Structure 1
Amino acid sequence: MSLNVTTARLTVRCASQRARAGPPACKRRSFFSSVSSRPSTVKRRARRDDESPALPTPTPIPHEQLVHSPANAGQVDAYPAKTVAVSIDENPRTFDTVFLRDSCTCPKCVDPHSRQKLFQTSDIPLEIEGKARTVQDEKKGWVLEVEWQNDVPGYGPEHRTVHSIDWLRRALNTEVELRAGVRYDDRVLWDRDTMTKNNKWIDYADWMSQDTVLFDALAHLNQYGLLFLKNVPESEASVVDIASRVGTLKDTFYGRTWDVRSKPQAENIAYTPQFLGLHMDLLYTSNPPHLQLLHSLRARTPGGESFFSDSFHAAQKLHDASKTHFTTLCTFPVTYHYHHPTHHYHYTRPTIELHPHPKYSEPTNLALHRVNWSPPFQGPFEARIGGESQTALRHYIAAASAYEGLLSAEENLFEYRLKEGECVIFDNRRVLHARRAFDATKGERWLKGAYVDDDVFFSRLRVLEERFAGRWVADGVVRPVV
């Protein structure tokens, strides 16, 4: 990295140094030492008559000037915070030296190949100090360079940490967004008419060969939770190829892939010709799959239409109609199980899960995270089951009945009969799927299925977001690529 030093070095001093020298003996004065001993964001108390007049507000500091932190000025604590202030967008912003040191990405701190950290946060001495300066890098523009005193054991005096101003700006903005508790959310809640209008079809060949198409498809899938592919080759391996463009397939006790076809004495109702109501898969496991893929290899029976419902849309409608019912579904524990001679899965979760938000904030939306709805695989209730003075179970039944009415309302169902050579992909933690009954004696119906986990999906989406959109999203916060 080519660095052009443009400013003099300024020392981040600690209280012990000030205590030894004393304020009158301090020869080096920072910009803020003549202005204020508190950050500008803190309201000043009313001035007493015996105090000096308030000093004028300083002019903004240019990028190339680094200043000592106002948080350190005037402190007399034996154990003060060590901070550095630097001008970002013409405003002085402060950073803890521990944060700057922990975030170091030099080759001694982060392996350039694996990109894994080579030291532990707990290794950083609490008494660490830094000498900081701003310099200009040919590629990164203005950067902050810090020389360390009392560094992590094993690091010599030559060690330097460099952070670009752009990276520091992103760190500050991300913290503000996370504290605010207001989530970025571009998901579209849909009913039948909305999905009919905005449904997306992707050609198999384009999905497999063009990253721009894949990014557009995954972004749509993240927004709506439902996507269709056409012209899929007639092969049992096709669903593996489709899923592999997203990432590693989820292997379950059903196998890496599985077949949905009618058979006698089926261990799953999906393997029968019976009507299969709206549900989600594998809610009896600790981490149910995020994506489900179903490739139609045979569609030669009458009936068997698939239909889908947006559980988030129904949850929003339920909240608008009855906050009491909505709260019940957010809190009442429902048990799911898969109990067979060779497999025994068991998990309890509420029907609606929300993203956490600050206790005293008012979220701008419901912050819906996941919905858990799978009546065919529901087990006996194990908590709040009722008694002479308990009505929680009855309250749940009332709320669940109201929710089911919204989920299965005709205007909220998107129905489609998959043809051979077509594949549907849907968000298993949001979009409910179902199937109408069919006559297995009059032809063959065969779907090849696969799952993909949430970590795999969002990893692929973020990689493509960084490449094509110049940003990525995590924890409800948009982060620009730096």
Structure 2
Amino acid sequence: MSLNLSTRLPLRALLAQATRAGTRRWRPPIALKSTAPARQFWNKPQSPAPQPVPQQAPQEHLVHDASNAGQLDGMPAKHVAVNIDGDPRVFDTVFLRDSCTCPQCVDPDSKQKRFQTADIPENLEGSCRTVVDKEKGWVVEVVWQNDVPGYGPEHRTRHSIDWLRRALNTELELRGGVRSDERVLWDKDTIVKHNKWVDYKAYMTEDEALFDAISHLNKFGLLFLKNVPKSEESVVDIAGRIGNLKDTFYGRTWDVRSKPKAENIAYTQHYLGLHMDLLYTSNPPHLQLLHSIRAQAPGGESFFSDSFHAAHQLHASSAFHFRTLCTFPVTYEYHHPTQHYHYTRPTIELFPYPKYSEPTNLAIRHVNWSPPFQGPFEARIGGENQTALRNYISASHAFDKLLGSEENLYEYRMNEGECVIFDNRRVLHARRAFDATKGERWLKGAYVDDDVFFSKLRVLEEKFNGSWISDGVVRHAIK
């Protein structure tokens, strides 16, 4: 696979070919920040000492094969050039050394580094050769000069061409801010068509079913399980298939049912509007799970709305309102005698590389919307020449209208033995009022953090797809 890199060094600018007998050599452009010339691999015939290189026609190919196996490429240098898909790619030897995965550098069991990046000497240099690795095939092997203290002259670093190619791709995609995003924005019609119900037994016992379930959850932010045992521990088991539960002041699990003098409006029988949980904490939970154990009270229908879809709609209708919600600080608070949580964040949070002028690449990371748990505004609260608060009110009206519009709401009454899992940083949830005098409504809840969820997703992506995604960039599984 050839790399399509906008910043790659053109072959013609780098290579020159000798027209008489001798070795083929090239020198890097002056722009290389190195006190020694970059080194490369090439077809190296057995020949006398190297001859000067005339500036003539460019070399056609640089290849890795048996003809250059085991041959060091010149004197040590701070940069080396490696042929990848027909073009020379220049790497800083510090990067190659820091990435070493040999048993001396990375513990085979814990997979943790045995040295620090800060241990690498500033005058580190390396010489390269190609060798055949019994596991990785053809690899680049670097012999070090001025290695990390404690490493002897026998230490070698090996990297496969596939690994180096991925390193280049990852750097350029991160730098370019182009994100791979599998999320599917939805309104009511879309989620009704694509909604997924997963059998509890398959979810709990089959990794492929689990991968299908959490992949869907990552795309749509909403997933339902059926045939869940009516046990208070079922929600623990469901969340545990993903990873550790998030423990909060509500506990590892908590009960959603009506009770007198409730410390949370969710623990009443009253209507509860669209919201997200725990936005008054520094790291709100990524997933929320609600297992319906009792569903005997009339009413109490749940409904959900995709805030990312509404945000895209808002951007299309008013870029000014969208920017206002990206910048205006909203305070969330939970202030009780024994707990006091307080955090300020904008309504819409973007990834580091937003492109405001391109509605198809908004790069939304989180939406924060929880009106029941807002505290008083603390910044930009107004004055006769300040309009920020009024602008926020106008933008919030427009956003709220989109979130709660009939075409964007998915409504469902949870039956006993069902569990819903949803992305608490994307999908808003709400509940209609119910009559607690005519029956019990009891849901058992739990949370899972973002790190836990994405760790499990990456493990299963690598297992079943041979690749995984982080920071919006696809990394293919390689040796």
TM-score (norm 1): 0.87
The runs of 5 or more residues in structure 2 that have no matched partner are 1-21, 33-52
Determine the C-alpha separation between the residues in 1 that align with 2:215 and 2:302. Answer: 23
> Given the superposition, is the C-alpha separation of residues 53 and 84 from structure 1 closer, same or farther in structure 2, using an over 3 Å criterion?
closer
Q: Which residue of 1 aligns with 2:317?
A: 321
**Structure 1 residues 5-404: aligned runs within 5 Å:** 31-33=25-27, 55-64=56-65, 82-357=78-353, 365-404=361-400
**Structure 1 residue 420 and structure 2 residue 425: aligned?**
no
Higher mean displacement: 354-363 or 169-178:
354-363
| Correspondence list, 1:456-471, <5 A | 456-471=452-467
* C-alpha distance in structure 2 between counterparts of 1:58 and 1:430, whole Å: 53
Distance 2:354 2:326 in 1: 17
* CA–CA distance in structure 2, aligned partners of residues 116 and 249 of structure 1: 25
The whole-number CA distance in structure 1 between the counterparts of 2:306 and 2:354 is: 27
Rounded Cα–Cα distance in structure 1 between residues aligned with 2:357 and 2:381: 33
Contact map agreement 1:30 1:68 (CA 8 A) in 2: no
Instruction: Give the secondary structure class of the aligned counterpart of 1:293.
Output: strand
Give distance in 2, aligned partners of 1:471 and 1:450. 29
Cα gap change, 1:319 to 1:360, in 2 (>3 Å): closer
Maintained 8 Å contact 1:182/1:364? no
Identity of aligned residues (%): 73
1:30 CA drift (Å)? 5.8
The question of whether the paired residues in 2 share the 8 Å contact of 1:275 and 1:436 is answered with yes
Aligned-pair distance for 1:63? 2.4
Higher deviation after alignment, 129-138 or 195-204: 129-138
2: CA distance, partners of 1:374 / 1:135: 59
What letter matches 2:405 in structure 1? A
Deviation by residue 1:308-334 (Cα, 9 ceiling, x = unmatched):
000000000000000000000000000
Question: Structure 1 residues 477 and 68, CA, compared in 2 at 3 Å: closer, same or farther?
Answer: farther
Tell me the SS of whatever aligns to 2:290.
Answer: strand
* Distance in 1 separating the partners of 2:264 and 2:244: 25
Letter paired with 2:26: F
Q: Quick check: 1:440 aligned with 2:441?
A: no
In structure 2, do the counterparts of structure 1 residues 362 and 82 end up closer, same or farther at CA, with 3 Å as the change threshold?
Answer: farther
C-alpha deviation, 1:57, in angstroms: 2.3
Determine the C-alpha separation between the residues in 1 that align with 2:356 and 2:393: 30
Structure 1 residue 139, shift from structure 2 partner:
2.5
Q: Within 1, Cα distance between the matches of 2:160 and 2:402? A: 51
2: CA distance, partners of 1:366 / 1:63: 42
Please identify, of 83-92 and 219-228, the stretch whose mean Cα deviation from structure 2 is larger. Answer: 83-92
Aligned to 1:233, what secondary structure does the other structure show?
coil
Deviations 1:138-178 (CA, angstroms, capped at 9, x unpaired): 33111011111100011111111111111111111111111
In 2, distance between residues paired with 1:437 and 1:87? 66
SS of the residue corresponding to residue 243 of structure 2 reads coil
**Aligned partners of 2:206 and 2:235: how far apart in 1?**
17
- Aligned partners of 1:30 and 1:100: how far apart in 2? 24
Q: Matched residues in 2 for 1:298 and 1:479: separation?
A: 44
Query: How well do the aligned residues superpose, as a CA RMSD in angstroms?
Result: 2.3
The one-letter code matched in structure 2 to 1:264 is P
Whether contact under 8 Å (2:77, 2:125) holds in the other structure is no
